[in-house]
Chain A
Amino acid sequence: MLSFLFKVKISAMSKRKSKESSSANGECISQVQRILRERFCHHHATGKPFGIEHQYRHLLELLKRTTVHGESNSALIIGPRGSGKTMLLNHVLKELMEIKQIRENLLEVHLNGLLQTNDKVALKEITRQLHLENVVGDKVFGSFAENLAFLLEALRKGDRTSSCPVLFILDEFDLFVHHKNQTLLYNLFDISQSAQTPVTVIGLTCRQDILELLEKRVKSRFSHRQIYLMNSFDFKQYIKIFKEQLSLPAEFLDESFAQKWNNNVQMLALSNVTVHHPLITASDLHEASKQYRMDSKANIVHGLSVLEICLIIAMKHLNDVYEGEPFNFQMVYNEFQKFMQRKAHCMYNFEKPVVMKAFEHLLQLELVKPIERPSVRAQREYLLMKLLLDNNQIMDALQAYPNCPTDVKQWATSSLSWL
């Protein structure tokens, strides 16, 4: 939801700039752009969390216990995409770093499931982030566990008797679950339960069934501490967020402009209630949200040639008669020929290879998909396919299609009593 908000705002904002440039200073506008763009596009680093104070405090407590008191822990932050998991974690870390003792002691290792696609790579990355490449050198280890234990020992052999706390952050946690034997997860959770080094493992994931994906031995070593981020804002909170996000900060240079801008935002927030009716004050937002909600497949159908539209209508009729059974090109061509013989006056009777080329264009656009892989054994015309559009989409697209010949339209809406 937050990502929708941010997309709508940035597109509305980009347009507004050109309208206001005459009335306000150009420099001002560029500053506004810069601040708001930083806030929206770079928001994983600087955004402000709303509505998650409870989770924030929970996580802060947890991390404080590791870093200050030397306790080992593990936790999972679970929430749908865009609910602010990374943002929450970054905020907590920022606050922790303000404490001198933690800043000098805490070691962070950031792992991401998209980047470290297997455990070997993950181990090398851990070595690199702990700056222990020289220490490891060319040693060969028997197992993953040995390697990890060696790394943690090496941390201790520094200049202190008790070792620094290590924080392992695993982004896209659900991807680590698919590695072979879940070795990395097993070992990390293992040391978080047993080792002398204070280790905390925090996983971030969007899958709510993540616990079912863990192996039994991994699950038993996990502390089952879960922090959920299910943002369910009601409309009033939504408006409040909207106001906060778009307002300029207090230390903005041109005060009068900042005042004007913030007032405008207040007004917009109030008129936000009517954003679903096309009012002039909110037209920018409305336009942007309309663009966001476009049906992309309808757009593609809009650009097809008349022959290709006829083929789609033929496929629609086949789906209606045979109740969604897959069809092949020969059947579609047959249907098309029936139309040409009985009803079409405006269309020239195209040869079969020309129709085949139009059909292959539809295949290329993935509006039609074969059920099985094409093989050398089967001829192209007899390969079974399915249409990836449903009837409503086709009829809506036909309404919007420019210069559609009338008999094609009539054919589309006719029932098949004349078959």
Chain B
Amino acid sequence: MPNLEHPAYPAATLLRLESLVPCRESQVSMLLSIFGERQQFTFPSIFIYGHTSSGKTYVMQTLLNTLQLPHVFVNCVEYFTSRLLLEEILIQLQNCSFETKHASHVLCDTFNDFVRMFKQAVTSQDLQDQTLYIVLDRAEQLREMEANILPAFLRLQELTDRNVTVVLLSEIVWELFRPSTGCFEPFTLYFPDYSIGHLQKILSHNHPPEYSADFYAAYINILLGVFYMVCRDLKELQHLAALNFSKYCEPVVRGEANERDTRKLWKNIEPHLKKAMQTVYLREISSSQWERLQRDDGEPGQLKGLSAHAHVELPYYSKFLLIAAYLASYNPVRTDKRFFLKHHGKIKKTNFMKKHEKTSNHLLGPKPFPLDRLLAILYSIVDNRVAPTANIFSQITSLVTLQLLSLVGHNDQLDGPRYKCTVSLDFIRAIARFFSLLHLKEGQSIGP
């Protein structure tokens, strides 16, 4: 493993830095060599990209704080307009210096004012001989601001004629940032994703002191075995590891197994992890709910995730209306006659239909249908006679408000409103279970 060495910084600091950034030594040494000594000029702008949770923000912050380089750190999602962003940079600059005792409010509307105030701020401080770093995290938000912000930041060294470097951190590649007429190209640096070995090393790093490192490493191994195929995000894995460790230790705590009984421990934890993938990983339930569940040792069936709440109790006719809407959305019009009339003939397949048969309606999403068709299907699926009263129509409107149906087109369309069904097949199946009689008809129409 390469040791970080640089003549400008004391070896002790570098050693401490190295211990804080495991598996990222080569990136840190690259950054150190680019930064050079404190007062030397460096690239006017640096663009660092890499996957989610590949350590970009953490490494930058650790590096700048440990070496005590003067810097300003701003998250572009937090300061999402240009004005907020520029004002925040100026406020942090004031805090950088030791001369200003209190932070006065700055008013900065445009980049022009920013450049002027920046020049003043830097000259009035003891920053003159050191490189100032402005780090913009989640830099992809800069593209949403005014068009001059991104190119101007890339050229900040030239525009202000000061020793300043702008560092952009993002998940998105540089090609998607570049403005159409071009700009000053920054130095791009890639933070490679962590390999499975790296993930193991980093996750095993913070093991609780009561248990041995090997025990925790075995646990991490199991966790990675379940989750690695799905997710390689370090933060998510750390979260899952922290949540599930107590369950893993249960057999040891209860005395049923000792630390080396891997098979027993695996059998205990495996269904739990699979359940976690469907709930906590998807944020269906919160982590506190999950912990409560583990403690109470409740049945997983009691788990009410967020999507379970989507199921609403509907009045009698609304259920029929929703089923009719689903049928209207997903069955093509020509099949209506066949499914819903008592005496129907065969439908001849034309050439057009043969060619487009492959794309099933279920893949393309719901189609809009007029109100009349909905009512026609409704009358055919409900056994007793249904009168078209205001009751029925108001139920249609409430379904739209619940966003189970959606209105397509304008409110003031003269031909009559058109709707679309926005619920999934599982939802409809759940409703239809109440009507065993209709279940037969469901099987016919929803078929292919």
Contacts and interface: CB of A to CB of B under 8 A. Distances in A.
Interface of A: 3, 7, 10-11, 14-15, 17-18, 21, 26, 29-30, 33-34, 37-38, 41-42, 44-45, 80-82, 86, 112-117, 121, 125, 174-175, 206-207, 294, 296-297, 299-300, 302-307, 328, 330-331, 334, 347-348, 350-351, 353-354, 357-358, 361, 364-366, 376-379, 381-382, 402-403
Contact of B41 (A42, A125, A357): A42
A86 B161 CA distance: 13
A347 B33 contact: no
B131 to A, nearest CB: 10
Given A17-B33, A121-B110, A351-B278, A403 B196 contact: yes
- The DSSP consensus for interface residues of chain B is loop
Contact of B195 (A299, A305, A402): A402
A114 B159 contact: yes
Nearest to B51: A303
B14 interface: no
Contacts of A121: 110, 112
Contacts of A300: 49, 51, 173
B146 A364 contact: no
Contacts of A21: 7
Contacts of B420: 377
Contacts of B228: 305-306
A44 to B, nearest CB: 5
B92 to A, nearest CB: 21
**Pairs of residues from A and B, 8 with the lowest C-beta to C-beta distance, nearest first:** A303-B193, A382-B365, A14-B33, A296-B173, A303-B51, A41-B41, A114-B152, A115-B112
Interface in B335-390: 362-366
Interface in B162-208: 171-176, 181-185, 187-188, 190, 192-193, 195-196
B171 A365 contact: yes
B20 to A, nearest CB: 21
Nearest to A331: B363
A31 to B, nearest CB: 10
Contacts of A116: 112
A33 B37 CA distance: 9
Contacts of B188: 296
A330 B362 contact: yes
Contact of A364 (B52, B184, B363): B52
Given A296-B175, A307-B229, A354-B230, A114 B282 contact: no
A305 B157 contact: no
Nearest to A379: B422
A379 B195 CA distance: 35
Nearest to A305: B232
B182 A206 contact: yes
29 contacts: A3-B184, A7-B187, A10-B43, A14-B34, A14-B36, A21-B7, A29-B7, A30-B8, A34-B37, A34-B40, A37-B41, A41-B41, A45-B161, A115-B112, A117-B110, A117-B148, A121-B112, A296-B49, A302-B193, A303-B192, A305-B228, A306-B228, A307-B229, A328-B364, A354-B278, A357-B282, A358-B231, A364-B171, A376-B403
A41 B152 contact: no
A41 B157 contact: yes
B281 interface: yes
A113 to B, nearest CB: 8
A238 to B, nearest CB: 19
Contacts of A15: 33
A116 B364 CA distance: 48
Contacts of A331: 363
B307 interface: yes
Given A351-B278, A357-B282, A117 B146 contact: yes
Nearest to B150: A114
Nearest to B153: A114
A328 B365 contact: yes
Contacts of B70: none
Contacts of B94: none
B251 interface: no
B103 interface: no
Contacts of A378: 365
A296 to B, nearest CB: 4
Nearest to B172: A366
Nearest to A124: B112
Given A206-B181, A402-B195, A354 B282 contact: yes
B21 interface: no
Contacts of B161: 45
Contacts of A45: 161
Contacts of A125: 112
Contacts of B363: 328, 330-331, 334
Contacts of A37: 36, 40-42
Contacts of A117: 110-112, 146, 148
Contacts of B28: none
A17 to B, nearest CB: 7
A41 B44 contact: yes
B328 to A, nearest CB: 16
Contacts of B33: 14-15, 17-18
B291 interface: no
B351 to A, nearest CB: 19
B7 A30 contact: yes
A320 to B, nearest CB: 14
B158 interface: yes
A306 B193 CA distance: 14
Contact of B151 (A7, A114, A402): A114
A100 to B, nearest CB: 25
A294 B51 CA distance: 16
Contacts of B7: 21, 26, 29-30
A15 B228 CA distance: 35
A379 to B, nearest CB: 5
Contact of B231 (A29, A305, A334, A348): A305
Contacts of A354: 230, 277-278, 281-282
Interface string B115-158: 10000000000000000000000001000001010011001011
B37 A81 contact: no
Nearest to B42: A41
Contacts of B278: 351, 353-354
A10 B42 CA distance: 9
Contacts of B42: 37, 41
A348 B42 CA distance: 49
Contacts of B171: 364-365
Interface in B56-86: none
B27 to A, nearest CB: 12
B107 interface: no
A354 B172 CA distance: 23
Contacts of B34: 10-11, 14
Interface string B222-252: 0000001111110000000000000000000
